[in-house]
Structure 1
Amino acid sequence: MSVARIARRIASPKKAFTTAAVAAAATGMALTAAPAHAATTASPSEAKAIAKQLIPNATQYNAFSKIVEHESGWDVDATNPSSGAYGLVQALPGTKMAAAGADWKTNAKTQIKWGLDYMNSRYGSPVGAWNFWQANGWY
């Protein structure tokens, strides 16, 4: 059984890693440690609170929120299975968000900053992005 398959079959991430490490060691494979980053994945309510702090204008926040709700349901880890778009704002590719921070995969604040910058640069504002989204079903 592959290490990846073992990891998928176990619900607990800690147990999955331990089991994967044991399986890797048993088969002569080596697992390398990833850089140390704090786990910063935010709940939807935490992500919304962060966005409100970063977007104090209610109209702009509401437009941003509508896009994020449609795109990811405020799930920092959301991944579109067909396109690979990732995160709150469904960046494509998700690695684009690295421009806002190395913690782009798990940090709601980093994803929100990137998404806000994207909306401002491409559409003039979150309201402009929401207007485009309403007309096209994407932004």
Structure 2
Amino acid sequence: MSRISVRGLAVASATAVTTVGAVVGVASGNTESSNSNDLEATASDATLLADIPAGEQAQVQTTSVAQQADAQATAADSAAKTSAAEAARVQAAKNAVAKQKAAKQAEADRKAAAKEAAEKKEKEKKERLENKASRSSSRDASDFAPQSSYTVAQVQAMARQMVPAGQFQCFSNIVNHESTWNYRATNASSGAYGLVQALPGSKMASAGADWRTNPATQIKWGLNYMNERYGSPCGAWDFWQANHWY
């Protein structure tokens, strides 16, 4: 296989340069023998490299380019990883802040809900105590002498004496909607009867056998029903407003 000597190329080049110099020297009258020394020095100073087969020179160049590309790819990959790691760190920090804010908000909401529940419970307790005190001072159905008939004003006056003052307006609102204070009101479709439209009307017998003709008995039964089922007439009125029945 033909091989190219790097040293041979260097020497040949030096010889060519020296020859030209000698010609120039002759023309100028300078015939010193230092030119031959320069040739030897040039040849001896030339770097000796491992001979490379001529057919492999292109492969060597290709390998060098590939190595450079690999080095660049490695550097780019490293930079990308560093950038990704920094982005992940920044996102993690943001997530931590958001999580902390969410936790604080959740705690604030929990405290607000607990406070609201406590206030509601305290209000209900106060209402029960007030109702209890009012009931203890309120008159019972038996306190009213039976009559053959009653006017609306008489029925309302009886209700004011039997229903706690703080609950009367709610009680009155329901009776207004159910019977307009007619103690003999009858629903032709369902059979509901009386001031509070008990269904069936015979339920009111638990408050008195005269439930058909005595509005005081009907008021007593209606008040007990509202207290037992809704906590108070106002609780019953709240339900009625949402559903139009109670």
TM-score (norm 2): 0.40
Give the CA deviation at 1:66: 0.3
Give the SS at the match of 2:213.
Answer: coil
Match of 1:65 in 2: 172
List runs of 5+ in structure 2 lacking aligned partners: 1-145
Query: In the TM superposition, what whole-angstrom CA distance separates every residue of 1:44-66 from its partner, at most 9, and x where no partner exists?
Result: 11110000000132x30000000
Alignment of 1:107-118 (within 5 A): 107-118=214-225
Match of 1:28 in 2: none
1:69/1:135 CA distance change after superposition, 3 Å: same
Match of 1:46 in 2: 154
Q: Distance in 2 between matches of 1:39 and 1:56?
A: 24
Does structure 2 retain, via aligned residues, the 8 Å contact 1:41–1:76? no
1:44/1:79 CA distance change after superposition, 3 Å: same
Tell whether 2:206 aligns with 1:124.
no
Query: In the TM superposition, what whole-angstrom CA distance separates every residue of 1:71-107 from its partner, at most 9, and x where no partner exists?
Result: 0000010000100000000000000000000100010
Counterpart AA for 2:212:
K
Tell whether 2:184 aligns with 1:97.
no
Query: In the TM superposition, what whole-angstrom CA distance separates every residue of 1:10-65 from its partner, at most 9, and x where no partner exists?
Result: xxxxxxxxxxxxxxxxxxxxxxxxxxxx65432211110000000132x3000000
Identity among equivalent pairs (%):
63
Tell whether 2:172 aligns with 1:78.
no
Q: CA RMSD in A?
A: 1.1
Give the SS at the match of 2:154.
Answer: helix
Alignment of 1:6-25 (within 5 A): none
TM-score (norm 1): 0.70
Q: Distance in 2 between matches of 1:99 and 1:54?
A: 17
Match of 1:9 in 2: none
Question: Which protein, 1 or 2, shows the higher relative CO under an 8 Å CA cutoff with sep ≥ 6?
Answer: 1
Give the SS at the match of 1:91.
Answer: coil
Does structure 2 retain, via aligned residues, the 8 Å contact 1:44–1:75? yes
Does structure 2 retain, via aligned residues, the 8 Å contact 1:89–1:115? yes
Does structure 2 retain, via aligned residues, the 8 Å contact 1:41–1:108? no
More helix by share: 2
